[in-house]
Structure 1
């Protein structure tokens, strides 16, 4: 069900704003210097919404939420800082405890009514939509929103500037917040700010990594301008559906066939059919680095891999097993090249990663449902992105069976594509056994 704009906006009302910062002073002249991968992601934003029913949200007051954040931000004080630029123009974060933007709101619907709508565009009402800039030095990189449903349920929305860290950093932050909300005493390290990075002296590579795309200068307003109007749709693919699709691709009796690559192979070919005149023969795959983040509790270190089928390859006429194997076996990690280029330019030039090529973002390993209230998982978790380039992005997350069950039921997929392609992509997916 899709609502007219005015009716959609009236779903959430009585929005009140405040700020929340660390419970202790971080110190004077504390700075966090951003790495090349951080700055490469500065035009992207993660938007996350957690929906809890009234039983889980019982006793969850605004004061209790803020008290938990005071403690959490003692460790994550970098997220409460503000951006500055060096003399060369390179952005960095001054850890001045300015805090995060905190919004309180009410919704005209019950949680059940909201879930029944399945109007994905309405989810933007449950999470702040501001971006960094145009007054960069006053813009918080992290914004939170608490929305109360009529039934007593609650939505916890988070807008996370990707320059802070990748989705796994975001998930770790949210899960730690949940533990503080549940009055758990945690021994965790403080986020030690990074020092000024060493500028590399080697020559800039003649050829840019294919996983990035340069965009027109955006100054201090960190959001890329799209040539096309982008739209979003989402769907749940159950474990049974996924098993059937994997068998369709790999054949019967094949164990442990990769679900992410199998699903992305189908979506890749469907999008190629829609873009028949300009098939995406090169795609980008982003996923967690199995080696972790080292000593940082936030940061960008996810694998950013190019997968090239070849300019003369027809994606439409390539069988799904071949496409899936390409995604499994042929990815070349381009993080080092991206980091070198951005650091040589001292983070002044502007580029995008998500949507530079058709991009597949694997969030299957993100602990999406580890954030619990009163021991109960959320009814639903929604992840999306802001600042996606024209080639589009596909996010693949786990989907929980329910708040009282421990297993996942398949995947939840969100696709962000040019608006004029959405209907055609949905039709192609249905014809390939993916019910949207």
Structure 2
């Protein structure tokens, strides 16, 4: 990244936001086995607003509402510590969340046209966990003000603490608190959600493919991958174009949804960028959220399920007939992941304890194979991320999600777009030279995307 790019985002002050009410003395939050497995990754989410959000944040009502929202989520303001068994817990000690204030030397519209994924990460300040995390904030919030009145709220955290849904609902809860509304999707912690304290079911582990996949994944992670410079681009697809694409594959995939279509389009396009291999099958790791399937509510923490789909000759899907084949395979695979498969994965992580009860070591969850994340579950009456309204009727203009420490073949994230309906955003992280070629792939261009945050003019 050039010095010129870096100078567009300047952090000018920092403070600590604390809860408006003290937490009960000695309260702790235990991280689950799945939370521990995500330890190599970080999460960075940016909410963009076209209007001015803040005055002087030190005295602003938004700081007061943040403190109120934090009082409802004491695990966010706590600090990481090791338990006697070696596992992580959060000491809910009201230590607070680090908040950084920054100015961006351009307008929001110009930023969305000209910034790239690596520059966007400057909107979400982050420091990796030190050896002694007792004073280290596992969450960071960065308030960015653009020229002309636009703003962006950047939230970073360890992936051990939260997944994309969790961070989205935290910001949404802050917005609802600010507007003095009831929290529509309250996050549940520990024993109040179905993932807390459940005994491991060895029978489910042995009979389902999820456990075998995670076992292979943990072994593969022990082999270092070649270092590659990764880049990210964002594609915005209108409802009209997604509808047109679905109609083209409707004959053989009448139940396909936007995720099935876009996963197939991007998977086939990326497969054609790879060197020809002797293997006849291409593999895609599909990541879905299982909160609605396993949890009694909106679980705080990680509720992600990874599964492997292999399809022969993916790169040969040059036309609608070939795309139907791949989209159909994606659709059938996602729907085949039932409750038993989700529990198989949860129980496998829980079974990886040493003699003293310490969970297994974290390993690369996003990779080494190409990974595709579905956020279809966040598209209810309106996309949840675009319901984070700090001012009435002024929803975010755009929301970005970045995962830290992505290695291997790359990452595709498919999420609702601000327009709602069938509109979708796709964020793609690939080796730099592959991403440049992907942006020119005809199957993607045929859906007439708008390019955002790709370093290119729209």
State the TM-score, normalized to the length of structure 2. 0.81
2:285 — aligned with what?
284
Distance of 2:228 and 2:264 partners within structure 1 = 24
After superposition, the CA RMSD in angstroms is 3.1
Distance of 2:133 and 2:189 partners within structure 1 = 23
CA contact 2:221–2:364 (8 Å) conserved in 1: no
Residues 196-215 of structure 1, C-alpha deviations (whole Å, 9 max, x = no match): 84775959969452783457
**Runs of 4+ residues deviating >6 angstroms:** 187-190, 203-206
Q: Report the CA distance shift for 1:180/1:363 in structure 2 as closer, same or farther (over 3 A).
A: same
The match for 1:425 among 400, 422, 438 is 438
CA contact 2:169–2:185 (8 Å) conserved in 1: no
CA contact 1:211–1:284 (8 Å) conserved in 2: no
Deviation at 1:228, TM superposition (A): 2.3
Q: Aligned pairs, how many? A: 417
Deviation at 1:104, TM superposition (A): 0.8
CA contact 1:75–1:189 (8 Å) conserved in 2: no
- What does residue range 196-207 of structure 1 map to in structure 2 within 5 Å? 197=197, 200=200, 207=212
Deviation at 1:38, TM superposition (A): 1.5
CA contact 1:165–1:300 (8 Å) conserved in 2: yes
> Gaps spanning 5+ residues in structure 2: where?
379-383, 452-458
2:239 is the alignment partner of 1:231? no
Residues 350-369 of structure 1, C-alpha deviations (whole Å, 9 max, x = no match): 21222232111112332110
CA contact 2:385–2:399 (8 Å) conserved in 1: yes
The match for 1:392 among 406, 410, 415 is 410
1:371 — aligned with what?
388
CA contact 1:36–1:338 (8 Å) conserved in 2: no
The structure with the greater share of residues assigned to helix is 2
The match for 2:309 among 287, 307, 310 is 307
CA contact 2:169–2:187 (8 Å) conserved in 1: no
2:214 — aligned with what?
209
Q: Report the CA distance shift for 1:62/1:410 in structure 2 as closer, same or farther (over 3 A).
A: farther
Residues 152-199 of structure 1, C-alpha deviations (whole Å, 9 max, x = no match): 221111113222232222221111110112233659878544598477
Distance of 1:188 and 1:244 partners within structure 2 = 33
CA contact 2:20–2:70 (8 Å) conserved in 1: yes
Matched residue of 2:440: which SS?
helix
CA contact 2:65–2:178 (8 Å) conserved in 1: yes
Q: Report the CA distance shift for 1:58/1:73 in structure 2 as closer, same or farther (over 3 A).
A: closer
CA contact 1:211–1:353 (8 Å) conserved in 2: no
1:362 — aligned with what?
374
Q: Report the CA distance shift for 1:342/1:299 in structure 2 as closer, same or farther (over 3 A).
A: same
Distance of 2:187 and 2:46 partners within structure 1 = 26
2:323 is the alignment partner of 1:324? no
**More moved, 139-148 vs 58-67:** 58-67
Distance of 1:19 and 1:58 partners within structure 2 = 16
CA contact 1:89–1:348 (8 Å) conserved in 2: no
Deviation at 1:269, TM superposition (A): 0.9
Residues 39-84 of structure 1, C-alpha deviations (whole Å, 9 max, x = no match): 2222222211112123x52658443222112111111111112222
Matched residue of 2:112: which SS?
helix
Distance of 2:227 and 2:68 partners within structure 1 = 43
Matched residue of 2:40: which SS?
coil
2:18 is the alignment partner of 1:16? no
**More moved, 349-358 vs 116-125:** 116-125
1:220 — aligned with what?
none
State the TM-score, normalized to the length of structure 1. 0.84
Q: Report the CA distance shift for 1:273/1:82 in structure 2 as closer, same or farther (over 3 A).
A: same
Distance of 1:335 and 1:225 partners within structure 2 = 28
Distance of 2:254 and 2:221 partners within structure 1 = 47
- What does residue range 86-125 of structure 1 map to in structure 2 within 5 Å? 86-125=83-122
